[in-house]
Amino acid sequence: MELVEFVDLKRPRWASLERLLDQAERDGLKKLTLEDARALSRLYRSASSDLLWVRARSGSADVSGYLNDLVGRAYALTYPGKRVRLRDAGRFVAFGFPDLLLREWRVFVASLLICFGGFGFGWAGMTFDPDAAPYLVPSQHQSLDPVQRQKEEAESKGHSGDEQMAFASFLFTHNIEVAHFAYALGITAGVGTAILVFFNGVLLGALAWVYQSKAMAGWFWAWILPHGIPELTAICLAGAAGFVMARGLIAPRGLPRRVALRREARTAVKLLLGTEALFVLAGCIEGTISQVHPPKLSVEFKIAFATVVGGGVYAYLLSALAREPGPRPKLALIAFVLVMQTMVPVWQSQLLFAGLAMAVGAVALSLEPREALAPLAVAAAVGAILLGGLALGVVLGAPVFLLAVGVLALVGALRYSRSLRAAPAAPSVQG
């Protein structure tokens, strides 16, 4: 059959399909009648066959383009894909990302160790050769005298709200660019990612040595830690995403390299997306709290604040342990909170960290109501909640807050007892 005859024969079908597509795109598939929906499906398959016939015979480019457009529109309507709902995004942030990190903890730890190695290299380099500052210290800090900066910050009246928000937005976008670059460099088999993460550690280590040499270590860490903990954690997570990409190239595990890379890329993108919330947190803190220096905010208060932020970040990242079977992961999570609470001896940290203890205690009690927790884990969680509420309530004079904390602990205990009652009884053995 000649092409002209073929087009004349098939044109009415193509026109009918085009009419149904226009109607479906305008009003939605659900507005089609049953007969129209069946006709759309039938005409879609017919147009796909027609497109193959035209291409096989190297037919007119106009006819091929027209059919390709029809088939593409029909495919998009028939297979629209899964829509991302806000609830799904919330579940990923709350549960999916910590679960993913638990599975990929090795690449994250590797990224952290590379960053810490860079920190040690930067510190050691400045210790043995202070003249290496032009190569190790960030360029914007090479001409700054730490002592003079401390005096200027103490006399400064601070920044306006608009300036703080603009600075936070700049930091957020800059950090996102660094993270995406670390992820993209995974295509270099992870070498570029490792260099970038290592170099970030070098800059921090060299700058820390500069302030330490001026006896200003406390001032420096009070400036860096509040935003640095979530920021460096997010950068190391982005580095972990790059290493996952590299794993698809280096160790395809018996799969074709292209298939392995595509599979690992999905995991890497999810790791990268999980860093966005941490970068938002770091940008907001760096644009506000981190820029308020002593005497307006004391070093002790800012270190305590950094401890709370860091404990909260890692309690969230480790929260998947609370969903693991058995009591040991939950005990480890609660022990982490209690150890973090005693790391900084200043009284501000004890008060601020009480809120974190209560939050993690509530998480440990409520995440898996159907799973029986060990009594010791329950006691530790309820104790953390009650003691944290007692510390804050007594010092701040907030009896309503104390009452709310008590209710929270009671609800957690009731959920636990309900899970015990709902657990199936062990079958008895009859002789």
pLDDT, tens digit (0-9, with 9 covering 90-100), for 72-102: 888 888 776 666 566 777 788 888 898 899 8
Q: Considering the chain, what is the average pLDDT of its residues?
A: 75
Instruction: Indicate if the pLDDT at residue 326 is higher than 90.
Output: no
Which of 268, 298, 328 lies at the terminal end of a domain, its last residue?
A: 298
What's the number of domains the chain is made of?
3
- For residues 244 and 358, state if they share a domain: no
pLDDT tens digits, one per residue of 296-318 = 888 888 887 887 788 778 878 88
Verdict on whether the full-model pTM lies above 0.75:
no
Residue 425 lies in a domain: no
Which of 298, 331, 349 lies at the terminal end of a domain, its last residue?
A: 298
More confident of the two residues 372 and 158: 158
Which range has the worst mean pLDDT, 26-30, 31-35, 41-45?
26-30
pLDDT tens digits, one per residue of 246-256 = 998 888 877 78
Instruction: Indicate if the pLDDT at residue 259 is higher than 80.
Output: yes
- For residues 223 and 138, state if they share a domain: yes
- For residues 253 and 338, state if they share a domain: no
* Average pLDDT of the segment spanning 409-424: 52
Structure tokens at 85: 């709902």
- For residues 177 and 67, state if they share a domain: no
- For residues 109 and 74, state if they share a domain: no
- For residues 128 and 276, state if they share a domain: yes
Residue 40 lies in a domain: yes
Alpha-carbon distance values, 255 to 240, 247, 258 (Å): 22, 12, 8
- For residues 328 and 292, state if they share a domain: no
- For residues 239 and 338, state if they share a domain: no
pLDDT tens digits, one per residue of 49-63 = 888 888 887 767 778
Kindly report the three-state secondary structure assignment for every residue of the chain: CCHHHHHHHHHHHHHHHHHHHHHHHHHCHHHCCHHHHHHHHHHHHHHHHHHHHHHHCCCCHHHHHHHHHHHHHHHHHHCCCCCCCHHHHHHHHHHHHHHHHHHCHHHHHHHHHHHHHHHHHHHHHHHHCHHHHHHHCCHHHCCCCHHHHHHHHHHCCCCCHHHHHHHHHHHHHHHHHHHHHHHHHHHHCCHHHHHHHHHHHHHHHHHHHHHHHCCCHHHHHHHHHHHHHHHHHHHHHHHHHHHHHHHHHHCCCCCCHHHHHHHHHHHHHHHHHHHHHHHHHHHHHHCCHHHCCCCCCCHHHHHHHHHHHHHHHHHHHCHHHHHCCCCHHHHHHHHHHHHHHHHCCCHHHHHHHHHHHHHHHHHHHHCCCCCCCCHHHHHHHHHHHHHHHHHHHHHHCCHHHHHHHHHHHHHHHHHHHHHHHHCCCCCCCCC
Residue 83 lies in a domain: no
More confident of the two residues 103 and 374: 103
- For residues 279 and 360, state if they share a domain: no
- For residues 129 and 276, state if they share a domain: yes
Which of 55, 78, 101 lies at the terminal end of a domain, its last residue?
A: 78
- Displacement of CA 315 from its chain's centroid (Å): 13
pLDDT tens digits, one per residue of 280-297 = 888 888 877 888 888 888
Q: How many CB atoms lie within 10 A of CB 32?
A: 17
- For residues 399 and 284, state if they share a domain: no
Residue 404 lies in a domain: yes
Residue 429 lies in a domain: no
- Displacement of CA 94 from its chain's centroid (Å): 10
- Provide the pLDDT for residue 30: 80
Instruction: Indicate if the pLDDT at residue 370 is higher than 90.
Output: no
Residue 286 lies in a domain: yes
- For residues 290 and 330, state if they share a domain: no
Full domain range(s) for residue 37: 3-78
- Provide the pLDDT for residue 368: 46
Per-residue pLDDT band for 364 (boundaries 50, 70, 90) equals: low
